Structure 1
Amino acid sequence: MAGTGSMVLGSLAAGAVLIPLALLLRRRLGWVTGWAIAGLLWSVVVIALVTLLPTDASIGVVPAESRLPECSMDYGGPAPDGFWILSGGQRALNTLLFVPAGAFLVLAVSRWRAGLVLAPVGLLGLAGYSLLIERTQFELARIDRACDITDVVDNVTGAVIGFAIGLVLVLVLRPWRHRSAQ
């Protein structure tokens, strides 16, 4: 399974699975929190699909000897100029890919007072997720992806931007006011 078609199909399938979860959670936690939790899970799945599936179905097996011997620590590193979604380049995609996760994270935990701790911890979790993705890309040479510190910086930047957007949305939507419909 590879290529952009598989990424899109996987994203749609994840959405189809998570919509019933959102509807179920909505009944107990209110519509904002229910949809935010499902949205956070969906965005984490989409991030995995976009970053861990080979971009081209015809890649085949990439020999381990042809991969970089270590992760690129050169900021700006081996990232290509463009990618299939954005003509602005892979860096813009890496940033935008993490924005929904950051926003949904804040909305998902803001209903509770513990959200004051859970939101920053979740943001650190998204940074750790980015590091895990890069490590996986390094270890699995066959997916023909490059491990690059620039990706981590861009991913975390996107999560922080999403986090800020989520803070604004929390003030507008006030998830703690939405009572369960029981």
Structure 2
Amino acid sequence: MSDYSSPGAATPASRAAVLPAAVHLIAIGAFALGMASYVTAGLMPLIAGAFAVSMAMAAQLVTAFTLAYGLGSPLAVALLPGRAQRAGLLWALAVFVLANGASALAPDFGALLALRALAGIASGVYLALGIAAAAAVAAPEQRGKAIGMIMGGMASGTVLGVPLSLLLAERLGWAAALWLVAALGALALAGLLCRLPALPAAPATALRRRLALLADGQVLVILLVSLLAAIASLGMYTFVAPLLAWSTGGAALPVTPFLWAWGLGGIAGSMLVGYWADKVAAPTLTQTILLLLALALCALPLAAAWSAWLMLAPIVLWGAAGWALQVPQNQQLLAVRAAQGDGNLAIALNESALYLGSAIGAASGGLLLLLDWPMWLLAAGAAVVAAAALLLQLCHARSG
């Protein structure tokens, strides 16, 4: 028997205070995923030149990745046997690594397009299974912290990893960025092969019964809240530069500090929310975060009317709330579907809702700008959508 009172030995309390190594390794994979999700947009000029295609054609690489991620990954998770949760996670990460490495070696643009779609499916499967695995291996009182660690890894990959990989691409060519993504994914894979324990097997059910979760009213409300929040938060992110131009009256002002503020807020929110997620009921935490998101979006045009630099404060809060929201949302999905054992599929659908919401928000905002709506009204509209998500969450909590 282990003697936890011996010098240097960890006590049960101290062990519970530290997340398992597997959670940190899954987060490293999520960091690579965050890079892969957004780096292609920055590589488009280099890729267009390398393959002699137009920028419009190069942009389809982003479309292929996001569509495969949002539409293909839930189906792949649904088809995964319940007893293969650990193997599914490892295989998804292995395919992600191979797809990014192969992308760097793609002989033509068509092959690159197909490989980005494959990377997108693998990314969605990995994140859904990774969040469920992190919650499974963590102590019950640390599940929120574990999910926050994974979301923080993805946020960090987006905010810190993408600029690093683009800098590498400028010096060594566009393929170097994808090699970096593949290398980080391979590092996580090697660690998980050694440190990821067996995961609880989900009940063996037919595909039709798994998809029946779409008839679960609780799941639908959670997904709709995520969709509305993504329309407001991720949709508005598309228009940071136009909002900045409106604030300055067209005067030149670098947009990078504002994007960094949003991203760093996202990292902080993802990491810090884990502490509260283990102490506050997930529905209550979701309500609080949605309120902060609505207030931040509402404050954007007010701050912009005074000074563009004053927008930094609400932008940080906006980024923090937008990224933090998915921790209690995923917690709720795992809790609601615990008995059925298909929480990972619910999480995959939640990720699809985020991508769909981002697309709807960007398209709606673009349409409003074409109709010559004032920029401040666009930000206010995003705040209204966030408030609608809050109202839906409140009504659902009362009815429950």
TM superposition score category, shorter chain reference: 0.3 to 0.5
Q: Bigger relative contact order, structure 1 or 2, given CA contacts below 8 A and separation 6+? A: 1
TM-score (norm 2): 0.21
TM-score (norm 1): 0.39
